[in-house]
Amino acid sequence: CLSGIATVTKEGGGNDVQWCFSQVKGAIDDDVAEADIISTVEFNHSGELLATGDKGGRVVIFQQETENKSQPQCRSEYNVYSTFQSHEPEFDYLKSLEIEEKINKIRWLPQKNAAQFLLSTNDKTIKLWKISERDKRPEGYNLKEEDGRYRDAATITTLRVPVFRPMDLMVEASPRRVFANGHTYHINSISVNSDNETYLSADDLRINLWHLEITDRSFNVVDIKPANMEELTEVITAAEFHPHQCNTFVYSSSKGTIRLCDMRASALCDKHSKLFEEPEDPSNRSFFSEIISSISDVKFSHNGRYMMTRDYLSVKIWDLNMENRPVETYQVHEYLRSKLCSLYENDCIFDKFECCWNGNDSVVMTGSYNNFFRMLDRSQRRDVTLEASRESCKPRQVLKPRRVCAGGKRKKDEISVDSLDFNKKILHTAWHPQENIIAVATTNNLYIFQEKVN
C-alpha cells in the first residue's frame, strides 16, 4: 500500500531539481550484442532494488548501498546484487514458432518477509522468482565431512549437532512458479494487484487474471478477439491494476483508447466501465495517424487518481473521473511529426516508449531518441530534455538541458532534427518511488542519475 509514502523530495517535487550523473552500468563497447539490449527496468517498492531485463532473457538486480549517515555527501550507489537467467529461447513445435527469451516486463511484489519476489515475463511465460540471501551455513555435520563426502561409518564415535556459522553473502534466485500456456498472443504487460494475491497478464487480445499460488489455471477477464480475425481493428497494448482498488484495472489499445474495467461488475470485463478517448484532431491527419495514436504504455499515478498514457509523440495525463479528454497533454518530440514517413520506413515509428511518475506524482518522465529523455513537471508546467551519454559521465556532473532545433536557424548548443541518432533510443525509464533517483536505459547501458545535493 503506497498511501503512506514519506517523500524525501523537496516541496513541489521536480522544481529546480538538477540532475547529476551517478553511475552507468553495462559495456562501453559501441558494438552492442543483441542479448545485452535492455528491455525493461523496474525499481522495487522501497527503491532499494533495481531490476533490469534484457533481450537475452537475463535479469540483473542492483541493490542500493545503505547510506553512510556520517557522510551525507557520499551518495548511495547501486551495485550488482543478483544475476540470473530468467527465460530461455523456446520452440513451439506445434505451431513452428520460436519464442523469444527477451524479458518484456518485470514487476516486483511487495516485500512480505526476508526474501524478495518478482514476476518476469517473456512473450509467452510468466515466472515468479524468489531472491533470497544466504549469509550462514550449517557446519559440523555428524555424518558428513565439510566438503560433503560421507564419513566412514566406522570412524563415527561421537554425536554432534551442526550449527550455523556465518559465510560470505550469497544471493540466490530460484523460480518458484511458472505460469505457462496462458497466452496465445504475445504478452505485453503484467501487473500485480494491490491484494497481493493476484496479478494480471495481457497479450494482444486477451487479459488473464492469475493467482500467485496457482499455475495451472488462469481466469480470462478481457477478450477482444473477434470471431472473424479479418475484422480485427485494434489490439491491447498495455494493462495495469489500480494501485489501491483491487477490483479495478485499465487497458490501452492500439487505437488510442483506454478502458477502465471493474471486476465487480461482471466476471468478464469485455464491457468497460469507462472509456477514455480523445477525439482526433483532423488537421493532423496523415497516413500514420493510426500508428502514432497507438498507446505504448499506461501507468496509474501513485495516488490512484490519474493515469498517464504514452503514444508516439505525446504523453497524456487523464483524470479517472473525466473520460472525454486528458487533463494534460505534453509533446515529447513534436518535431518528429513531419518525419513520420521516414520513421515508418526505418521502423522507428513502432518503438514503444514507456513513461513513469515520480514519487509524489508531480513530475513524469519518458524517453526519446538520440539518448534524450524528457522530464515533464506538472506542477511547474515546465519541461526539460536531458541526455544520457558517456560524455557526461563524470561523477556528480550536472546534466545540461538539451534543445532540438526543428527548423530554421540552429542556435548554438542546439541539435538539428536531422542530426538525431534514431538508433539511440530510450524506451525504458524508472523513477525511485521515494527519492529523486532515476534509472534510464539506453540500448545496452543503464544510467543512474540523482538529484544534485548541495
Partner 1 sequence: MEYKVEAHRIMSISLGKIYNSRVQRGGIKLHKNLLVSLVLRSARQVYLSDYYSGACLNAAQSEREWDITDTEREKFPPSTTECDRVESSEEPQKNERPEKEREYRENDDEVKSDQADCTSTLQQEQNQNSSQDSVAKVSSETLQETINEPKESPSDSALAELDSTPEANGESHQPPKTHVCSNRKRSAEESESGDSPQKKTKVASSNAKEGEEAEEMDTSNVSNLITIFGSSFSGLLSKDGAKPESEAEDSGQICCDQMLKNLNPWSTAIVAF
Give the interface with partner 1 as residue ranges (CB under 8 A). Answer: 94-100, 102, 123, 184-186, 188, 204-205, 228-235, 237, 254, 282, 285-288, 290-291, 294, 341, 344-345, 347, 350
Query: How many Cα atoms are found within 13 Å in the side-chain-facing hemisphere of 285?
Result: 5
Query: Min. distance of Cβ 260 from partner 1 in angstroms?
Result: 21
The cell for 176 is 518458484
DSSP string, 318-349: EETT--SS-SEEEES-GGGGGGHHHHHHTTGG
Closer CB to partner 1, residue 278 or residue 319? 278
**Cβ distance to partner 1 smaller for residue 279 or 395:** 279
Compute the least distance from the CB of residue 116 to partner 1, in Å. 29
Cell numbers at 237, concatenated:
497494448
User: What is the number of helices (H) and of strands (E) in the chain?
Assistant: 2, 32
Query: How many Cα atoms occupy the beta-carbon half-sphere of 133 within 13 Å?
Result: 11
Nearer to partner 1, 96 or 157 (CB): 96
For the bound state, the minimum distance from the C-beta of residue 255 to partner 1, rounded and expressed in Å, comes to 10
Closer by beta carbon to partner 1, 266 or else 286: 286
C-alpha 204/C-alpha 210 separation (Å) is 17
| Least separation in angstroms between CB 124 and partner 1 | 10
Q: Please, what is the minimum distance in Å from the beta carbon of residue 382 to partner 1?
A: 33
Complex with partner 1: residue 97 or 214, whichever CB lies closer = 97
Give the Cα separation of 86 and 190 in Å (integer).
15
DSSP-assigned letter for residue 418:
G
Least distance from partner 1 to the Cβ atom of residue 287, Å: 5
Nearer to partner 1, 186 or 452 (CB): 186
Cα dihedral 151→154→155→156 (10° resolution): 80
Closer Cβ to partner 1, 34 or 421, answer by number: 34
DSSP annotation of 390 reads: G
Distance set, CA 380 to CA 320, 345, 375 (Å)? 22, 37, 11
Q: Output the smallest distance, CB 322 to partner 1, in A.
A: 26
CB of 282 to partner 1, least distance (A): 7
74 contacts: CB under 8 Å, gap ≥ 6 = 67, 68
Burial 166-199 (b: 16+ CB within 10 A, else e): eeeeebebeeebebeebbeebbbbbbbbbeeebb
- Rank residues 188 and 450 by Cβ distance to partner 1 and give the closer one: 188
